[in-house]
Amino acid sequence: MATAAQGPLSLLWGWLWSERFWLPQNVTWADLEGPADGYGYPRGRHILSVFPLAAGIFFVRLLFERGAPLWEGPRYPDKKRLEGLSKQLDWNVRKIQCWFRHRRNQDKPPTLTKFCESMWRFTFYLCIFCYGIRFLWSSPWFWDIRQCWHNYPFQPLSSGLYYYYIMELAFYWSLMFSQFTDIKRKDFLIMFVHHLVTIGLISFSYINNMVRAGTLIMCLHDVSDFLLEAAKLANYAKYQRLCDTLFVIFSAVFMVTRLGIYPFWILNTTLFESWEIIGPYASWWLLNGLLLTLQVLHVIWSYLIARIALKALIRGKVSKDDRSDVESSSEEEDVTTCTKSPCDSSSSNGANRVNGHMGGSYWAEE
């Protein structure tokens, strides 16, 4: 019975890790068990270390966001602001304070929550980009991309490359976890697909040792990601000019890297130069299929970003992100919607009422 039960499992395991799928012709897993510098050669079992690390990153993020109340600022507008609202709305000051207390108790300010989400991603993207560019600067394949395929797959895995890869993969797994707890946005589905494709790309490229090309792809994406998060932070802090400037810079960098460098430098080497040097095999087709899927997402996002950037240049102000969730504008508008009964929670539907203490546009997650 035990032998019969083990038979299907052995067949499934052998099919999942078939050498003919993962490796070029005449290369076996045993060939990659030999000694090499640093951490040896990449192996599938290394991926298992990602999951506790991803859980740790998610826990660090929770601790990071516990500092949110320190950034919340005053609970009510100052005295001068209250007097101005009192004259504008013909309310007494006590009534306005009552409204703000009701709003504060109704839910946490979503702007503050979004600020913390973006600050966390900005911090990680900036740190990992600095690490990546420092690592790649001394790597020969950064200056000659064809070296991604020279002597493939017998390319040793250094400790620096291992840490870079595992940290990136763990972070995207943590984003998969947190996407279901973060503020929901209109692009939830496309971001879910993006995370799946990214995790698939990083995992596949690691297992079949295409890590040199993988490091270039990761660094290329990180350079625009932290600029987008910086623009969001400026927007949430109501620094509109800084937000507009950062978003225009982000748009330019995004277009150059995702529609220029990525297809003409990265896809060119993974599709054509690798074909010339090592030839295609089963996992080669799958990996390039994922890379092409990622390029389709780049085109979709570029269209959305171009619309926003064009409006910013024409109107002199960044307009609402089409991918973002529906938000409110300003405190005055919030107060005006509640003129009938500001302290009576039963007078209106709190879930549908405009929310947040800050106005302006809100960025969707990239």
Write down the residue that tokens 């019975």 correspond to: 1
> 86-95, 100-109, 190-199, 244-253: which has the minimum mean pLDDT?
100-109
Structure token digits, residue 346: 């039963």
**Residues 198 and 219 occupy one common structural domain:** yes
Please give the full DSSP string across 215-266, using - where no structure is assigned. HHHHHHHHHHHHHHHHHHHHHHTT-HHHHHHHHHHHHHHHHHIIIIIIIIII
Structure token digits, residue 313: 């240049």
Return the higher-pLDDT residue of 326 and 204. 204
Q: Does 31 map to a domain?
A: no
User: In this predicted model, what pLDDT tens digit does every residue of 295-325 receive, in sequence order?
Assistant: 998 998 899 888 887 877 777 655 444 444 4
**What local confidence, expressed as pLDDT, does residue 9 receive?**
64
Residue 67: phi, psi to the nearest 5? -80, 0
Q: Does 257 map to a domain?
A: yes
User: In this predicted model, what pLDDT tens digit does every residue of 118-162 receive, in sequence order?
Assistant: 888 899 999 999 999 999 999 999 999 999 999 888 888 888 899
Bond before 263 cis per omega within 30 degrees: no
Q: Does 5 map to a domain?
A: no
Indicate the pLDDT class of residue 67, thresholds 50, 70 and 90.
Answer: low
Bond before 153 cis per omega within 30 degrees: yes
Q: How far is CA 86 from the centre of its chain?
A: 43
**Residues 224 and 81 occupy one common structural domain:** no
Q: Domain range for residue 85?
A: 75-108
User: In this predicted model, what pLDDT tens digit does every residue of 264-292 receive, in sequence order?
Assistant: 999 999 999 999 998 888 888 988 988 89
End-to-end alpha carbon distance in the chain? 52
Q: What is the mean pLDDT of the chain?
A: 75
38-47, 52-61, 108-117, 190-199 — most confident range: 52-61
Write down the residue that tokens 């799928």 correspond to: 21
Q: How far apart are CA 53 and CA 58, in angstroms?
A: 9
**Residues 80 and 62 occupy one common structural domain:** no
**What local confidence, expressed as pLDDT, does residue 97 receive?**
73
Q: Does 350 map to a domain?
A: no
**What local confidence, expressed as pLDDT, does residue 316 receive?**
62
Whether the pLDDT of residue 110 is over 50: the answer is yes
Q: Fill in the amino acid letter for 293.
A: T
Which residue, of 108, 128, 161, is where some domain finishes?
Answer: 108
Which residues, 6+ apart, have CB-to-CB distance to 87 below 8 Å? none
**Dihedral of the CA atoms 338, 339, 344, 345 (nearest 10)?**
-10
Using alpha carbons, list the distances in angstroms from residue 126 to 123, 129, 160, 262, 286: 5, 5, 17, 20, 30
Instruction: Please give the average per-residue pLDDT across 31-55, as a whole number.
Output: 76
Return the higher-pLDDT residue of 203 and 363. 203
Q: What is the pTM of this model?
A: 0.71
**Residues 103 and 189 occupy one common structural domain:** no
Which residues, 6+ apart, have CB-to-CB distance to 139 below 8 Å? 212, 215
Q: Does 4 map to a domain?
A: no
Q: How far apart are CA 62 and CA 34, in angstroms?
A: 41
SS3 of 76, please?
coil
Using alpha carbons, list the distances in angstroms from residue 306 to 35, 189, 230: 49, 21, 18
Q: Does 288 map to a domain?
A: yes
**Residues 287 and 298 occupy one common structural domain:** yes
Return the higher-pLDDT residue of 107 and 28. 28
Q: Does 120 map to a domain?
A: yes
**Residues 174 and 281 occupy one common structural domain:** yes
**Residues 193 and 235 occupy one common structural domain:** yes
Please give the full DSSP string across 82-101, using - where no structure is assigned. HHHHHHHHT--HHHHHHHHH
Q: How far apart are CA 111 and CA 194, in angstroms?
A: 24
> 203-217, 272-286, 322-336: which has the minimum mean pLDDT?
322-336
Other beta carbons within 10 Å of 87: 9
Q: How far apart are CA 100 and CA 82, in angstroms?
A: 11
**What local confidence, expressed as pLDDT, does residue 134 receive?**
93
> Residue 321 in contact with residue 211, Cβ under 8 Å?
no
Which residues, 6+ apart, have CB-to-CB distance to 309 below 8 Å? 247, 248, 251
**Residues 84 and 168 occupy one common structural domain:** no
> Residue 229 in contact with residue 117, Cβ under 8 Å?
no
**What local confidence, expressed as pLDDT, does residue 327 receive?**
38
**Residues 98 and 117 occupy one common structural domain:** no
Q: How far apart are CA 366 and CA 230, in angstroms?
A: 12
Whether the pLDDT of residue 64 is over 70: the answer is yes
**Residues 97 and 142 occupy one common structural domain:** no
Q: How far apart are CA 303 and CA 300, in angstroms?
A: 5
Write down the residue that tokens 């017998």 correspond to: 154
Task: Give the number of domains in the chain.
Answer: 2
**Residues 154 and 249 occupy one common structural domain:** yes
Structure token digits, residue 138: 């001394």
**Residues 239 and 257 occupy one common structural domain:** yes
> Residue 88 in contact with residue 332, Cβ under 8 Å?
yes
Q: Does 259 map to a domain?
A: yes
Which residue, of 303, 320, 337, is where some domain finishes?
Answer: 320
Return the higher-pLDDT residue of 68 and 219. 219
